[in-house]
Amino acid sequence: MPERVHDCVVVGAGPAGSAAALQMARDGLDVVLLERGVRPGAKNVMSGVLLTQKLHDLVPDFRDRAPLQRSITGGYETYVLGEAEVLRLPGIRNYRPDRYPHPPFTVFRSQFDAWFAQEAVDAGAEMFTETLVEDLLWEDGRVAGVRTRRGDLRARIVLGADGVNSTVGEKSGLGAPPLPTHVSLIVREVLDLPAEQIEERFNLRPGEGILSLFYGQVSGSTGQKGLYYSELYTNQDSLSLTVEVPLDVLRACGEPTYEVLAARERHPYIARLIQGATLREYQAHLIPWGGVADLASLFGDGVLLAGDAGRFVTKEGVGSWTAMASGTAAARAVKHACERGDSSRAALAVYLDFLDQEGLVDTQREAREDWSDRGWVRKVLAQNPERLLHLAGRYYDEWVLGKGDYAHSLGAEAYHDLVEPLAPWYVRWPLGVAFRLDTRRWRKQQGKGG
């Protein structure tokens, strides 16, 4: 019998791979979904907050069937942490249900990925677990399948959705292993706490959740400093506390990530929020940042990349909806190529059009630009978050307590601390003049002369 040639082999049963397999199965394609773990989700970790607009497009009744934890009410609450201080940045929590028709949900990937992959199987995809892809098959200069420890699978097109260190990306020549400047290490603790205590502590109703984002400074034995991100969010009967640090920052500071996480637990503000909770599990995972420099590197002859393998993240580092959207776009590109009997790079270039329809071309560009610039906020926080805390303390002293003795106005001090060290000259010059005048006006009001 001639060897079976599938329309597509999808490597990786995370959100990107399962979304692609689900879409292709519904389109009537012969698709195989491979997962190296004993089941989907067994080897996957993410921040645990799922943006659901794209999921709703794929599975409209997911809220009735998916293994969800809590619905995030009102979005992020953002804080800057000092040694023993915390600054809450302006924000609002909105309780109107029509404001967010598709709110984020907290999830456990071990549960959600298994459910989502089963949706693809129920639609007609084949799935094989405990199957590690070691290499690609080639024919006439194009990718023609995958080589696994359990045997070879031939396919017209291979879709790599196998994470940030993508075997498909590396073996196909589309993507080299990411540099430390484009990858962060995220560690997460799941802390058990009864649902009633969570709801009382965070002012929530049953089923509601909250997500808090913390910025802080990491420094180590080398004397170097950098920025870390920490999230605290609520599950049904547990809390998740994460710390994310770029690998180049960890390398420069010489500080293990678990030490950064332990320091966050000891911070007076966070310690009160997690008081009484007990450790359930500890996980670690690499996530990409900054997109790709050239979207044409996401496809080749007989091969595509989606999800983390294609570094699909927003400039904020969110990768859940971008994974599903890129998987859906890849599925449509595969269908287009199969209908034309052409799996060449030229035929698969239609992937860019489908990515654009999903809004991912702009998302990739924004992520790339923001990461290349490192973002003004990240620069300020990485260099000296204590200055932000000082300015907030001064605002409180002057406008609430009516005390304090300073040489410059608050606006001028903010300019000197935050704008002058980082902004280009054409921004510094007019603002510098404006704040010198502001200081002169302020000093007259304070009775300190001109």
pLDDT in tens, 97-152: 666 778 899 999 889 999 999 999 999 999 999 999 999 999 999 999 999 988 99
Considering the domain architecture, whether residues 413 and 362 belong to the same structural domain is answered as: no
Whether residue 97 lies inside any domain: the answer is no
Considering the domain architecture, whether residues 232 and 131 belong to the same structural domain is answered as: no
Angle formed at CA 167 by CA 166 and CA 169, multiple of 5 degrees: 65
Considering the domain architecture, whether residues 392 and 431 belong to the same structural domain is answered as: yes
Domain boundary among 335, 354, 373: 373
Whether residue 98 lies inside any domain: the answer is no
Considering the domain architecture, whether residues 31 and 173 belong to the same structural domain is answered as: yes
Structural domain boundaries enclosing 410 = 377-445
Whether residue 328 lies inside any domain: the answer is yes
Considering the domain architecture, whether residues 163 and 310 belong to the same structural domain is answered as: yes
Q: What is the 3-state secondary structure (H, E, C) of the chain?
A: CCCCEEEEEEECCCHHHHHHHHHHHHCCCCEEEECCCCCCCCCCCCCCEECCHHHHHHCCCHHHHCCCCCEEEEEEEEEEECCCCEEECCCCCCCCCCCCCCCCEECCHHHHHHHHHHHHHHHCCEEECCCCEEEEEEECCEEEEEEECCEEEEEEEEEECCCCCCHHHHHHCCCCCCCHHHEEEEEEEEEECCHHHHHHHCCCCCCEEEEEEEEEEEECCCCCEEEEEEEEEECCCEEEEEEEEEHHHHHHHCCCHHHHHHHHHHCHHHHHHCCCCEEEEEEEEEEECCCCCCHHHHEECCEEECHHHHCCCCCCCCCHHHHHHHHHHHHHHHHHHHHHCCCCHHHHCCHHHHHHHCCHHHHHHHHHHHHHHCCHHHHHHHHCHHHHHHHHHHHHHHHHHCCCCCCCCHHHHHHHHHHCCCCCHHHHHHHHHHHHHHHHHHHHHCCCCC
Whether residue 129 contacts residue 35, with contact meaning beta carbons closer than 8 Å, is answered with: yes
pLDDT in tens, 373-409: 665 556 666 566 667 666 666 666 665 555 666 666 7
| Tokens matching residue 291 | 């997109």
CB atoms within 10 A of CB 239: 22
Name the more confident of 439 and 32.
32
Name the more confident of 441 and 388.
441
| pLDDT score of 253 | 81
Whether residue 92 lies inside any domain: the answer is no
Considering the domain architecture, whether residues 33 and 165 belong to the same structural domain is answered as: yes
Domain boundary among 373, 390, 410: 373
Whether residue 189 lies inside any domain: the answer is no
Give yes or no for residue 231 having a pLDDT over 80: yes
| pLDDT score of 46 | 56
Domain boundary among 331, 353, 373: 373
pLDDT in tens, 349-368: 999 999 999 999 999 888 88
Give yes or no for residue 235 having a pLDDT over 70: yes
Whether residue 113 lies inside any domain: the answer is yes
Confidence of residue 1 (pLDDT cuts 50, 70, 90): very low
Whether residue 93 lies inside any domain: the answer is no
Give yes or no for residue 447 having a pLDDT over 80: no
Considering the domain architecture, whether residues 123 and 56 belong to the same structural domain is answered as: yes
Name the more confident of 216 and 326.
326
The domain total for the chain is 3
Distance of alpha carbon 269 from alpha carbon 143, whole angstroms: 53
Confidence of residue 291 (pLDDT cuts 50, 70, 90): confident
Distance of alpha carbon 438 from alpha carbon 450, whole angstroms: 11
Whether residue 160 lies inside any domain: the answer is yes
Considering the domain architecture, whether residues 112 and 52 belong to the same structural domain is answered as: yes
For residue 344, report the phi and psi dihedrals to the nearest 5 degrees: -70, 165
Name the more confident of 393 and 321.
321
Considering the domain architecture, whether residues 251 and 305 belong to the same structural domain is answered as: no
How much is the average pLDDT of 65-90?
83
Name the more confident of 23 and 3.
23
Considering the domain architecture, whether residues 368 and 387 belong to the same structural domain is answered as: no
Give yes or no for residue 287 having a pLDDT over 50: yes
| pLDDT score of 375 | 58
Q: Give pTM, 2 decimals.
A: 0.86
- What's the mean pLDDT when you consider all of the chain? 85
CB atoms within 10 A of CB 265: 15
Give yes or no for residue 257 having a pLDDT over 70: yes
